[in-house]
Structure 1
Amino acid sequence: MSRGVNALDTINLGLMRAREWKEAQSELPKSPFVEVKSRGRSSPYAIVCHTDGAWSREHRAGGMGWIFQDKNKRQINRGSSSRGHVSSPLVAEGLAIRHALDHALSIGISVIQVASDSQQIVTAITNGNRLSEIYGILEDIAHLSSLFIEVNFISVSRKTNCLADSSAKLALRAFLAPGD
């Protein structure tokens, strides 16, 4: 005679496994998600990529924008993206960096400096802060970063990041108002 699974036993087992997982995570050494492959300052040959994310609380949607500039601050390329089911501004910022790195690789950039006005994201990437809200995005950023010869992440002011900000907001606006 087979015994049915008791709901309470299932819940208890799940809680026990979750506790075990959490304890195992705290035992892991804290290391940066991305080994910043830079020699102090960014290479003079690095392409600077400004990224930004825009978020709509009402629609739970995000717009992401990025601008590539050469050492003379001339725009050489740009991109934007948008999507639904974005849970926070932090997620939108992380997605912007992930999309920008992917775009950079697709157009042959191998030395890059990523500039974001989200100090929280830059700190998480460079210091290995494990932000559970964007853990998967940080892992994607780490993987993409490993494909560059040199990568550097810096935090910049919002004023410095206005072109990427405009691109992200335009992408979000277009996503929210299709056909206009």
Structure 2
Amino acid sequence: MTMLAAHTDIEAILEGTVPPEELDRVLGLIAVASAAVEEFTGYRFAPGTYSVSRIVRDGRVQLAANVATVTGVRLVNERTGSVTEVSDYVVRGSTIYNLPCGRVEIDFTVTAPVPDEIVSLTAGIVAATLSGPPVGADQMTAGSYSVSFTASSGRVWLSASDKLVLGRYKRPAAAVVIL
């Protein structure tokens, strides 16, 4: 798993330095937030070589990161399992055009660093967790009335707005083949 942010990114959001005694906690929260982002999107954002399977929509496929090179595209017949090489595709940024309808397997290399949007979002998730109220439970009593509540879970979570931003990076759901 790739750390999608650094402690310095969290410091920039919080406008202060992370105390040395909190550094291990911050690095742990970055790891958890990174895993949550990768799990939600289905992508690893680290540079490297990848093979993915996608459903072609409107003759194109959008990949999550800037693609340095595409080394192969194959059309997969899901009923028979046969594979056909595709050669007349066009790559622009992270989008591959002129693809036939159906499921394709794509081999590609990513050399660009983690997108700034993902770094900022991951750092924001960790900063929100750190700047939240302290973890704990309180109880207040007034006469015969009593109320109990927890101040915070202290856990990393993706908000609805985080999921909205990550939506463009999320892998499309697999199609169902009906015979």
TM-score category by the smaller chain?
Answer: under 0.3
Structure having the larger proportion of residues in strand: 2
Please give the TM-score of this superposition, normalised by the length of structure 2: 0.25
